[in-house]
A and B are shown apart, each in its own frame.
Chain A
Amino acid sequence: GAGVSQTPSNKVTEKGKYVELRCDPISGHTALYWYRQSLGQGPEFLIYFQGTGAADDSGLPNDRFFAVRPEGSVSTLKIQRTERGDSAVYLCASSGDTGEQFFGPGTRLTVL
């Protein structure tokens, strides 16, 4: 596609539920990143992939958060047992040879 896409654009869930957020990177981009942006804050690094492997997952807040990229393209961020504090906009970005990160529009997650 022309840019990074993320689905859904909005997700409302109840505390304790499981959610999956999807990211489709720009075709050919080998690196993929996940960030979380809370209201009034800058994006917070969560994890980045180089190909299929998680090269740095040091930003994942706890073991309720997990991300995969099984074929080196699409990635899914998975959150178990959601908490109200998980409410935020989850941003995905991808980059190619230049290293410039191109961001998607984000998924707004609301945990009730």
Chain B
Amino acid sequence: AQSVTQPDIHITVSEGASLELRCNYSYGATPYLFWYVQSPGQGLQLLLKYFSGDTLVQGIKGFEAEFKRSQSSFNLRKPSVHWSDAAEYFCAVGNTGGFKTIFGAGTRLFVKA
């Protein structure tokens, strides 16, 4: 069965600092992996996805994530955080075809000036 663990419930970073959000997944086959962002009053928005190929994937808003099969991880990174990045971030794993998608509990990001 698919599962996702996001170990950090919340993280606070200073504006301009780098960011890494952790995600570990469990899935028997090659996973489809996603990162979504949810801002207050906004719907879920896809930041990036990994299906196959290059293990370092680039997304929108300057985010990137690296798939590490040996660690069952798909951590999200951004080199310099902006105040507008404050939101809830969800890692998700999809089955082959990406249809049944299981989400983690989320990490809330706070950005301080």
- Residues of chain B in range 44-62 having any CB-CB distance to chain A below 8 Å: 44-46, 49, 51
Q: Which chain A positions have C-beta within 8 A of B105?
A: 40-42
Q: How many residues of A contact B (CB 8 A)?
A: 25
Q: Does A90 contact B (CB under 8 A)?
A: no
- Residues of chain B in range 6-49 having any CB-CB distance to chain A below 8 Å: 32, 43-46, 49
In the complex, what distance in Å separates the CA atom of A43 from the CA atom of B51? 21
In the complex, what distance in Å separates the CA atom of A50 from the CA atom of B97? 12
Q: Which chain B positions have C-beta within 8 A of A93?
A: 44
- Residues of chain A in range 3-42 having any CB-CB distance to chain B below 8 Å: 4, 31, 33, 35, 40-42
Contact call A100/B43, Cβ cutoff below 8 A: no
In the complex, what distance in Å separates the CA atom of A42 from the CA atom of B88? 9
Q: Which chain B positions have C-beta within 8 A of A58?
A: 100
B101 contact from A33, A40, A41, Cβ within 8 A:
A33
Contact call B99/A31, Cβ cutoff below 8 A: yes
Contact call B43/A104, Cβ cutoff below 8 A: yes
Task: Known A91-B44, A101-B46; judge A44-B100 contact (CB<8 A).
Answer: no
Task: Known A42-B90, A42-B104, A42-B105; judge A103-B99 contact (CB<8 A).
Answer: no
In the complex, what distance in Å separates the CA atom of A73 from the CA atom of B26? 32
Q: Does A45 contact B (CB under 8 A)?
A: yes
- Residues of chain B in range 70-113 having any CB-CB distance to chain A below 8 Å: 90, 92, 97-106
Closest A residue, CB atoms, query B4: A42
Task: Known A41-B105, A42-B106, A43-B90; judge A48-B99 contact (CB<8 A).
Answer: yes
Interface residues in chain A, defined as those with a beta carbon under 8 Å from any beta carbon in chain B: 4, 31, 33, 35, 40-45, 48, 50, 55-56, 58-59, 91, 93, 99-101, 103-106
Interface residues in chain B, defined as those with a beta carbon under 8 Å from any beta carbon in chain A: 4, 32, 43-46, 49, 51, 90, 92, 97-106
Known contacts A35-B103, A41-B105, A42-B92; can you find 15 more A-B pairs with CB under 8 A? A4-B43, A31-B99, A40-B106, A42-B4, A42-B105, A43-B44, A45-B103, A56-B100, A59-B100, A99-B51, A99-B97, A99-B99, A100-B49, A101-B46, A104-B43
